Chains A and B, each alone.
Chain A
Amino acid sequence: MNKTLTERIFGPKAWMGLAIFAAITLILVPILNLAVPEGSALHLSTYWVTLIGKIMCYAIVALAMDLVWGYTGILSLGHGIFFALGGYAMGMYLMRAIGRDGNYQSDLPDFMVFLNWKELPWYWVGTEHFLWAMVLVVLVPGLLALIFGFFAFRSRIKGVYFSIITQALTFATMLLFFRNETGFGGNNGFTDFKRILGYHIASPTTRIVLFGLTAALLIGFLLLARYIVTSKLGRVLAAIRDAETRVMFSGYNPLPYKLFIWVVSAVICAIAGALFVPQVGIINPSEMSPANSIEIAIWVAVGGRGTLIGPLIGAGLINGVKSWFTVAFPEYWLYFLGLIFILVTLYLPRGVLGELQSLMRRGLLQKRGERA
């Protein structure tokens, strides 16, 4: 109808791809895992379900990162903090859901008994309710992002300075969470979860439900992100990335735009963290380590910045390789990751998908040239 601007969310091919992905994750995987007997060659073990579920959580994080880095040009090296805070909020509920089944058979989580605490700290109040915990998943990282973003963007902190500050933020928070007095289980974090909403947390059915939920949210967030970047707001974000002064002199205040995408990105990360914790069964402060946040940036760079789908591929690729590599040659993984990053920067500066797209475009032009 209108070719002047990209106003549709996806082309037919992309919709088809999404439908296939949905069919595999929401129908095929549950059948192969639950219905096909364990001895069968077609059976998909729970190990794989958990691994793929975990990687999909990372893919959601990569998607959120692409919104701020790929589209708006804000490189955050502290996105792990939002992921971890969402995870901790979910973890608080899961700890309370253990009830008296813990080692000390107390109403308090085990680590609090261990610290000789007699009652819950105020910020734990209400966390036994699942809904309140879900509110915290969104609210705490969202508010942190809003306040941090407001001051950083208002002061016009940009580029590498912004990256360093985000890195400092996640590092400082990690140190805070390492302390037992903070009330989040210190360096052990939360683990030994028993149930979620009354269901056994490690049962195959629970795992498949969490897996399906993760896949559905991945699709949902992809559509949301695509809606944002194809809107005029998305073009303003790209304009901020390319020439922020021109944006200002065109009558836009960049601050609310940056704040909007920054908070959206943080909340998406937090929800990914909340999905991650019940599937993996643990959350501890190492999730906030600067190295984790840098890895997120690598997924996006490898997949292709500013493509949305690329970062999903990047997160899948790197984490897939990682889960094999860390078993086969655990001590060399970081060298290998560094090597991938260097090679991608040198030879695939636009990432796997970015290069693929430009190759296809070139092919298309050539075909047109031959016909002409």
Chain B
Amino acid sequence: MNAAMKDESSAHISAGGGAQPSALGGGRPTDASQLDTTHGVILYLEGINVSFDGFKAINNLNLTIDRGELRCVIGPNGAGKTTMMDVITGKTRPDNGTAFFGQTIDLTKLSEPQIAHAGIGRKFQKPTVFEQLSVYENLELAMKTDKGVWASLRARLTGEQRDHINENLELIQLQDQAHRPSGLLSHGQKQWLEIGMLLMQKPQLLLLDEPAAGMTDAETERSGELFLSLAGQYTLVVVEHDMDFIKQISEDRKVTCLHEGSVLSEGPLDQVQNDERVIEVYLGR
């Protein structure tokens, strides 16, 4: 409860070095073209440190993700995977270090809604959807649009927006469930709905925290196919424990193994899997 009472939003806020929204800001859409990835890098973390009451959750973390990449992040419990996502999405402020989205957007200075508008979508470890609202309404709320109070009061869906929602319903295969309260969905379906909600935001970068957890094998495989089809168009960072799933989606892409808050090993899955240190702390012999 302490964390909930902590004042995080009063921190100095500045968007992309330009406007200075007040604490009431964050509802306005940010132009995605603001994102400058001329050097091919979409996410750049350097020298990040986070500690909680003396415990170093993140320890001098350096990580670079290229645009269009599908990066898997593995590592034992407590390696700092979720904390890293907290830092990227503005939930946790790093003690020091730099976190840039593209060339210009300093993530350490933005609030959670502002980061979401800038183009970073996040799926939580535990699927988090609006349980009392229908699947359709969940997607409607996530849709990229003006998210200020007055705009919401007068908002009516346009035909184009309906099409967008229906496309996503199809993609996450929940057409038949569209008007059921999302609280009644199965665990796997909730995971998919949450992914659908992220896509409604038209993000540039997707952070997926254990997206295959609690899914059946068939669902897991379908998720893998979905992520592979999204890579390229979007940039994905996937945190997972399921090595088979990682094998399915990483192909010959780069995999990062975190340990005690910093990068232990990075490279193609084969190389990481055969790294002595990774075997030692994570995979076991």
Could you tell me the distance between the alpha carbons of A238 and B130 in the complex, rounded to whole angstroms? 8
Could you tell me the distance between the alpha carbons of A321 and B180 in the complex, rounded to whole angstroms? 38
Of A3, A232, A241, A253, the residue contacting B141 (CB under 8 A) is A232
Could you tell me the distance between the alpha carbons of A288 and B121 in the complex, rounded to whole angstroms? 45
B26 sits at the interface (CB 8 A): yes
B111 sits at the interface (CB 8 A): yes
In the complex, which residues 1-42 of chain B have their Cβ closer than 8 Å to any Cβ of chain A? 1, 4-10, 23-27, 29
Q: Are A156 and B141 in contact (CB-based, < 8 A)?
A: no
Q: Are B24 and A253 in contact (CB-based, < 8 A)?
A: yes
**B9 partner residues in chain A, CB cutoff 8 A:** 154, 156, 255
Q: Are A156 and B5 in contact (CB-based, < 8 A)?
A: yes
Interface residues of A toward B: which range?
Answer: 35 or more
**A7 partner residues in chain B, CB cutoff 8 A:** 156
Question: Could you tell me the distance in whole angstroms from the C-beta of B178 to the nearest C-beta in chain A?
Answer: 8
State whether A232 and B27 are in contact (beta carbons under 8 Å apart), knowing that A5-B137, A251-B116 are contacts in the complex.
Answer: no
**B4 partner residues in chain A, CB cutoff 8 A:** 156-159
Task: Give the residue among B5, B8, B154, B162 with the most A Cβ atoms within 10 A.
Answer: B5
| CB-nearest residue of chain B to A244 | B4
Q: Are A256 and B122 in contact (CB-based, < 8 A)?
A: no
B69 sits at the interface (CB 8 A): no
**B113 partner residues in chain A, CB cutoff 8 A:** 248-253
Task: Give the residue among B10, B26, B29, B154 with the most A Cβ atoms within 10 A.
Answer: B26
Q: Are A251 and B149 in contact (CB-based, < 8 A)?
A: no
How many chain B residues touch A (CB < 8 A): the figure is: 51
A129 sits at the interface (CB 8 A): no
Task: Give the residue among A228, A231, A245, A251 with the most B Cβ atoms within 10 A.
Answer: A251
Of B1, B10, B24, B201, the residue contacting A250 (CB under 8 A) is B201
Could you tell me the distance between the alpha carbons of A242 and B134 in the complex, rounded to whole angstroms? 12
| CB-nearest residue of chain A to B116 | A251
Per-residue B-contact encoding for A145-173, CB less than 8 Å = 1, 0 else: 00000000011111101000000000000
Q: Are A250 and B140 in contact (CB-based, < 8 A)?
A: no
**B111 partner residues in chain A, CB cutoff 8 A:** 248, 253
Closest 6 CB pairs of A and B: A253-B26, A251-B116, A233-B152, A248-B112, A232-B155, A239-B130
Sample of 9 further A-B pairs with CB below 8 A, known A243-B128, A250-B197: A4-B157, A5-B136, A238-B133, A241-B132, A243-B129, A243-B130, A245-B91, A253-B111, A260-B149
